[in-house]
Chains A and B, each alone.
Chain A
Amino acid sequence: MSTAEETIQSVLETLKHDPSYQNQLCHVEHIPAREAQHRDVLPPLSQGLCETLSRYGVNQLYRHQAETISHARAKKNVVTVTGTASGKTLAYLLPILETLEQDSGATALLLYPTKALTQDQLKAMGRLLAHHPSLSQSVLAGSYDGDTSGSARRKIRDEANLLLTNPDMLHRGILPYHAKWHRLFKNLRYVVIDEVHSYRGIFGSNVGQVLRRLQRIQQHYAPSAKPVFLASSATIQNPKQHAEALVGAPFELVDQDGAPRGPKTFCFWNPPYLDRAQMERKSGNVEAKDILVQLMQRGIASIVFTKARVVAELIYRYARGTLLELPGLTNTNLSERLTPYRGGYLPSDRREIERRLFSGELLGVISTNALELGIDIGSLDASITVGFPGTIASLWQQAGRAGRTHTAALTLFIAYNDPIDQYLVRHPQYFFEQTPESAVIDTENPYILASHLSCAAFELPLRSQESELFGETYPELIALMKDVEDVVEVDGKTFWSSPEFPAQSVSLRTISDNTYSIVDVDEKNKVIGTVDAISALELVYPEAIYLHRGETFFVQELDLDKKLARVQKIEADYYTQPVLDASIKENNLKEQQASGTETVRLIDATVTWATTMLKKLQFGSMDSIGYKNLDLPPQHLETVALAWTPSPKAVSEVFPLGVKVSDALSGVRNLAITIFPLLAMCDRADVGGIVNASNTGKPTLYLYDRFPGGLGFSERAYENFTDLLQACLKLVSTCPCEAGCPSCVGLATLRPPIHQDPDALGGYPIPDKHAATVLLRGALRGPVKSEEFSSFASRNGSP
């Protein structure tokens, strides 16, 4: 047994023998070590590259790296799916550098989902390139995004061989100005798409269109060339199919991870009950803190993943407090080797934390999922995930952050007192046997496609033969664009014909681009952090306690016009939580249809949410010490929704069960949201569901598109309503669980509590499985199209 393994075992033993231990450790899964699999590339890499690699500390390539290089040399697109720190960057960089050795004018475009990851990868490339005898002089790598200065932009545009950017910048800042980038497109040999799994749902469907536009522009400048796409992905169910859908071209799959991996101990940890009645459990946040402190005291480098920014701050504050109270000077120093990390910190602060993590200066970090993506923070020995992050893939990805090549690693999942978390710790095999979720995109979504065809027409006139790139609805969409006079056709080509700049009004993501600044009034209004416009009203509302790097700031004022939150540092012994109120208003009936006894409607709806109150909670105990009403403007989403008020007949079947109809309907909502991605080709997070009776006086289920104006998801569910109910019924009646689980009536990705402490929230109860089943059966009794349904189900498989 290696020392690291001993350390990890002894940590577990210590935790178990602590006098306060109450059987929290409810499952231990041992994941065995994996040997390295090396492979040579044939023909071998050049002398220069071999020297570079050996100076960089790499003497042999892993199997997946060699396979990726071989495919790239054969000009085949390839998606590489391997673990964190398995050398994916090297796998896609080596073929590019090999090409650059032969052609110093060649270019490559590298896309990353976030600016932080771009910066990280740029640094990594710099470190590798520095060792190359000639490329270190001749190759320019540069990032181009919102943070790039004006003078640097020009140089990068005119000279860079490796251009690192994000899809949003490509969409708005590069493709519309392609003539300025003619050199890049003329010489484009490779397109790298890192973290390809993050391009899913609405965002992914948009990125798919941006990549099609990219291919048009590249073809315009170099009609005889075809760049090779190199993608990398975390583990998802469908990497090859996903990459192919995204780019619209065939891909090779490399998924045999050749990097060695030490053994991993994966533990499920359930905080103990606080009372005999077994109602309340100890705080998951405090349990996470206790374990983190134990790990740090033994010198084990650890990361804690939290579901909300506020939780990262809370655990940091608790842990710092505990470390400072421990006897001995080393423990005081330990508190300085711990930091929180989350979105909303200034970019410079984030870069500094990343640097300190990478160098090993820091021993512990408490992060939101901001560190889930591939930013290289060096190797850590232990990871703790507090609360189920929402997807199987995400929990594996977080667990992957712990583990070095040869030593043992520890991963802990700590459950909140939330039905989903509690289900997982009661049924640990459920997690280990589930395949990670699929990434779903729809590159034929007419709403998204129409937006991007406008952008494409602006960039270069559209030709009739471009159906191959944009799908079979292309001619019809062009006709629609002519109807609104955005384009005109001249000599068989369709030209953009409006003074507007279409890319400006097309956003790739659902989140807002608007940002609020958080300024410290005692420090001459220095900006200490930022927050997006939607979150501002939930994080820095007046009289909130804003937690920033463990310190408490009192929000004096939220200035909606200037997009400023004025805060002042104070010593508070409490934190605040927003109390949100969400509602849906039916506006306009678009259509309705009957299916047997049931009537379903397609409506224009306004989803409204607002922070109505703040709740003050004592640090640690979470005791509520007061409320305050707030008068903040509500936020609205004007969208399209499906509305279903179950008929009296269907409802009458639920009555004898003694379960509220709204509870049964909530179960159906959760099932429907699980089915949605299959039916509407979107991500679970792209749709929302509400059950209430405020519009109709009767319990009504609403499913809506989380996108202004709608993107056709609810419309599709409306058109296939009977199929939807059938699929829900099949899913719930074939689920082997007893009384409901996250795979059936349990897990709805309702609006994630981005700024709420799940510990204080308690989660949503799992609705009654039987009642949902009875309601579905009641609604479907009538004209049932079972053959059609079974073909739908077999096409899409069961989720």
Chain B
Amino acid sequence: MISEDPQRKSKLAVLDALRNRRKTFRKQTSLFKKENSPRRTEKTPSPIHATELPGREEKNALGTFLRWEQPLRLDFNWLKDLNQKRNELWPQEQNALEALPQIRASDLLFFDLETCGFAGTPLFLVGCLVVHAGEGRLVQFLARHYGEEAAVVLAASDLMGRHGLWISFNGRSYDSPFFADRCRLFGLEPPQPLGHLDLLHASRRRWKHDLPNCRLGTLERFILGLKRPPDTPGSQVPAHYHEFVKKGEVSNILSILRHNAQDLKSLALLMGALPLHKQKQLSQRMNSRG
């Protein structure tokens, strides 16, 4: 009914309705309490804003994406301890490592996703930290627009599939199923690790009673003694990415890349700071209470 020109007004009415319905809905629900970045009306530029981004463009069977690889000086001495004292770990952790009788540095893969929010939304950044020839390497796969997600998932999936032990923060319930969903969406079989250590769970087991909470920021401050400058709050990440795709706001995406890299570094440090001995931890807890 709106194909005839005199009915341009109908089109405008539909447009109004689209806007209004969203407005009324925002009022009704707390989900959208915060107004996201203001809408602008200028023409959408081309979605690839690669020039100001680090890394280099790569291509695979599913398309192009951006890969940024950086060396990272990190201490992996804890690995020896982990192999020797694994019998003293908490039972859940022993189970997670069961399929890996001897963990080598080349098995390790720390990973962290940046996504557009809850399940069903796209992911746009997969950050991985691996050990290559005794040295840490940070690899980030970035989709510069929604169309590059498939290639990112394929590239990350290749890397992840070549590492037997995944280490994440809340990855067992969030990142890993999220990544598997996106693989299936693109017709890929999701990679499976031999073992997956979730440092959120591991931290809760150790410090639940000693810390106000076990968020990564809290652990960085009290366990690692790190002070991190404020960066993009997690809740704003999806909006920033959408703005980046639509407008080319590179500064926001750079900040998310840094944030993701820092999270991975903290995970590696946290792994080193994790007491392996269950008994010892219990006594510490008693002391702190006394």
Interface residues of A (CB under 8 A from B): 176-180, 182, 444, 446-447, 450-451, 454, 458-459, 461, 472-473, 476-477, 480-486, 488, 490-491, 493, 495, 497-501, 504-505, 591, 708-710, 712, 715-716
Stretch of B18-26, B99-107, B207-215, B275-283 contacting A (4+ beta carbons < 8 Å): B18-26
Given A480-B14, A712-B13, the answer on whether A499 and B246 have CB atoms closer than 8 Å is no
Given A480-B15, A497-B242, A709-B21, the answer on whether A490 and B145 have CB atoms closer than 8 Å is yes
Given A450-B14, A481-B18, A504-B29, the answer on whether A498 and B242 have CB atoms closer than 8 Å is yes
Across-interface contacts of B119 in A (CB, < 8 A)? 177, 180
Across-interface contacts of A472 in B (CB, < 8 A)? 3
B10 at the interface (CB under 8 A from A): yes
Q: Which residue of B21, B117, B118 contacts A505 across the interface (Cβ within 8 Å)?
A: B21
For A485, give the chain B residue with the smallest CB separation. Answer: B39
> In the complex the two chains form, is A180's CB within 8 Å of B181's CB?
yes
Across-interface contacts of B118 in A (CB, < 8 A)? 501
> In the complex the two chains form, is A484's CB within 8 Å of B3's CB?
no
B2 at the interface (CB under 8 A from A): yes
Closest 10 pairs (CB-CB, A-B): A179-B181, A495-B146, A505-B25, A499-B238, A490-B147, A182-B184, A179-B185, A176-B120, A446-B14, A179-B184
Give the distance in Å from the alpha carbon of A710 to the alpha carbon of B3 in the complex: 20
> In the complex the two chains form, is A500's CB within 8 Å of B32's CB?
yes
B182 at the interface (CB under 8 A from A): yes
> In the complex the two chains form, is B14's CB within 8 Å of A505's CB?
no
Query: In whole Å, how far is B22's beta carbon from the nearest beta carbon of chain A?
Result: 6
Across-interface contacts of A444 in B (CB, < 8 A)? 1
Give the distance in Å from the alpha carbon of A476 to the alpha carbon of B184 in the complex: 31
Give the distance in Å from the alpha carbon of A482 to the alpha carbon of B182 in the complex: 25
Give the distance in Å from the alpha carbon of A591 to the alpha carbon of B7 in the complex: 13
Across-interface contacts of A459 in B (CB, < 8 A)? 120
Across-interface contacts of B10 in A (CB, < 8 A)? 446, 712, 715
Give the distance in Å from the alpha carbon of A575 to the alpha carbon of B40 in the complex: 58
Give the distance in Å from the alpha carbon of A499 to the alpha carbon of B34 in the complex: 11
Query: In whole Å, how far is A297's beta carbon from the nearest beta carbon of chain B?
Result: 52
Given A447-B14, A485-B39, the answer on whether A499 and B1 have CB atoms closer than 8 Å is no
Q: Which residue of B25, B44, B116 contacts A488 across the interface (Cβ within 8 Å)?
A: B44
Given A490-B146, A497-B146, the answer on whether A476 and B15 have CB atoms closer than 8 Å is no
> In the complex the two chains form, is B18's CB within 8 Å of A450's CB?
yes
Give the distance in Å from the alpha carbon of A636 to the alpha carbon of B1 in the complex: 29
Instruction: Count B interface residues, CB 8 Å.
Output: 43
Q: Which residue of B31, B47, B242 contacts A490 across the interface (Cβ within 8 Å)?
A: B47
Give the distance in Å from the alpha carbon of A176 to the alpha carbon of B118 in the complex: 11
Give the distance in Å from the alpha carbon of A178 to the alpha carbon of B40 in the complex: 32
Across-interface contacts of A446 in B (CB, < 8 A)? 1-2, 10-11, 14
* Interface pairs (8), CB distance under 8 Å: A178-B185, A180-B119, A180-B181, A444-B1, A472-B3, A476-B2, A495-B146, A500-B32
Give the distance in Å from the alpha carbon of A458 to the alpha carbon of B120 in the complex: 8
Which of B17, B117, B238 has most chain A Cβ within 10 Å? B17
A-B pairs under 8 A by CB, number = 110
Given A179-B120, A480-B11, A480-B14, the answer on whether A473 and B2 have CB atoms closer than 8 Å is yes
Give the distance in Å from the alpha carbon of A484 to the alpha carbon of B121 in the complex: 19
> In the complex the two chains form, is B15's CB within 8 Å of A497's CB?
no
Q: Which residue of A495, A501, A715 contacts B13 across the interface (Cβ within 8 Å)?
A: A715
> In the complex the two chains form, is B17's CB within 8 Å of A450's CB?
yes
B245 at the interface (CB under 8 A from A): yes
Give the distance in Å from the alpha carbon of A196 to the alpha carbon of B116 in the complex: 37
For A499, give the chain B residue with the smallest CB separation. Answer: B238
> In the complex the two chains form, is A473's CB within 8 Å of B1's CB?
yes
B159 at the interface (CB under 8 A from A): no
Query: In whole Å, how far is A177's beta carbon from the nearest beta carbon of chain B?
Result: 5
For B118, give the chain A residue with the smallest CB separation. Answer: A501
> In the complex the two chains form, is A476's CB within 8 Å of B3's CB?
yes
B95 at the interface (CB under 8 A from A): no
Query: In whole Å, how far is B146's beta carbon from the nearest beta carbon of chain A?
Result: 4
For A479, give the chain B residue with the smallest CB separation. Answer: B11
Which of A446, A454, A485 has most chain B Cβ within 10 Å? A446
Which of A482, A490, A715 has most chain B Cβ within 10 Å? A490
Give the distance in Å from the alpha carbon of A499 to the alpha carbon of B33 in the complex: 12
Across-interface contacts of B29 in A (CB, < 8 A)? 504
> In the complex the two chains form, is A483's CB within 8 Å of B15's CB?
yes
Given A446-B10, A461-B146, A497-B146, the answer on whether A484 and B18 have CB atoms closer than 8 Å is yes
For B236, give the chain A residue with the smallest CB separation. Answer: A499
For B28, give the chain A residue with the smallest CB separation. Answer: A505
Give the distance in Å from the alpha carbon of A490 to the alpha carbon of B121 in the complex: 17
B254 at the interface (CB under 8 A from A): no
B36 at the interface (CB under 8 A from A): yes
> In the complex the two chains form, is B117's CB within 8 Å of A473's CB?
no
B239 at the interface (CB under 8 A from A): yes
> In the complex the two chains form, is B245's CB within 8 Å of A497's CB?
yes
Query: In whole Å, how far is A796's beta carbon from the nearest beta carbon of chain B?
Result: 16
Across-interface contacts of B20 in A (CB, < 8 A)? 709
Across-interface contacts of A476 in B (CB, < 8 A)? 2-3, 11
Given A446-B2, A712-B10, the answer on whether A488 and B245 have CB atoms closer than 8 Å is yes
Query: In whole Å, how far is A153's beta carbon from the nearest beta carbon of chain B?
Result: 13
> In the complex the two chains form, is A488's CB within 8 Å of B47's CB?
yes
Across-interface contacts of B22 in A (CB, < 8 A)? 500, 505
Across-interface contacts of B116 in A (CB, < 8 A)? 499
Q: Which residue of A177, A484, A709 contacts B120 across the interface (Cβ within 8 Å)?
A: A177
Give the distance in Å from the alpha carbon of A205 to the alpha carbon of B106 in the complex: 56
Q: Which residue of B3, B17, B21, B25 contacts A473 across the interface (Cβ within 8 Å)?
A: B3
Query: In whole Å, how far is A164's beta carbon from the nearest beta carbon of chain B?
Result: 22
Across-interface contacts of A488 in B (CB, < 8 A)? 44, 47, 145-146, 245-246
Query: In whole Å, how far is A551's beta carbon from the nearest beta carbon of chain B?
Result: 35
Across-interface contacts of B117 in A (CB, < 8 A)? 499, 501
Q: Which residue of B13, B147, B182, B242 contacts A491 across the interface (Cβ within 8 Å)?
A: B147
Give the distance in Å from the alpha carbon of A480 to the alpha carbon of B9 in the complex: 12
Across-interface contacts of A483 in B (CB, < 8 A)? 15
For B48, give the chain A residue with the smallest CB separation. Answer: A490
For A494, give the chain B residue with the smallest CB separation. Answer: B146
> In the complex the two chains form, is A709's CB within 8 Å of B17's CB?
yes
Give the distance in Å from the alpha carbon of A447 to the alpha carbon of B12 in the complex: 11
Across-interface contacts of B147 in A (CB, < 8 A)? 461, 490-491, 493, 495
Across-interface contacts of A712 in B (CB, < 8 A)? 10, 13
Query: In whole Å, how far is A549's beta carbon from the nearest beta carbon of chain B?
Result: 33
Q: A481-B18, A490-B47, A709-B21 are in contact. List 19 more A-B contacts (CB 8 A).
A: A177-B120, A177-B181, A178-B120, A450-B14, A450-B18, A451-B18, A473-B1, A482-B44, A484-B15, A484-B39, A485-B246, A488-B44, A488-B47, A488-B245, A490-B145, A495-B145, A497-B246, A498-B242, A500-B22
Contact string against A for B residues 107-133, beta-carbon threshold 8 Å, 1 for contact and 0 otherwise: 000000000111111000000000000
Query: In whole Å, how far is A341's beta carbon from the nearest beta carbon of chain B?
Result: 32
For A716, give the chain B residue with the smallest CB separation. Answer: B1
Contact string against A for B residues 18-62, beta-carbon threshold 8 Å, 1 for contact and 0 otherwise: 111110110001011000100110001001000000000000000
Across-interface contacts of B25 in A (CB, < 8 A)? 504-505
Which of B18, B116, B118 has most chain A Cβ within 10 Å? B18
Across-interface contacts of A495 in B (CB, < 8 A)? 145-147
Give the distance in Å from the alpha carbon of A458 to the alpha carbon of B242 in the complex: 13
Give the distance in Å from the alpha carbon of A690 to the alpha carbon of B22 in the complex: 28
Give the distance in Å from the alpha carbon of A256 to the alpha carbon of B52 in the complex: 70
Give the distance in Å from the alpha carbon of A676 to the alpha carbon of B155 in the complex: 56
Give the distance in Å from the alpha carbon of A715 to the alpha carbon of B19 in the complex: 18
Across-interface contacts of B181 in A (CB, < 8 A)? 177, 179-180
Across-interface contacts of A493 in B (CB, < 8 A)? 147
Across-interface contacts of B32 in A (CB, < 8 A)? 500
> In the complex the two chains form, is A451's CB within 8 Å of B21's CB?
yes
Give the distance in Å from the alpha carbon of A196 to the alpha carbon of B20 in the complex: 31
Across-interface contacts of A708 in B (CB, < 8 A)? 21, 24
Query: In whole Å, how far is A533's beta carbon from the nearest beta carbon of chain B?
Result: 11
For A183, give the chain B residue with the smallest CB separation. Answer: B184
Give the distance in Å from the alpha carbon of A505 to the alpha carbon of B118 in the complex: 16
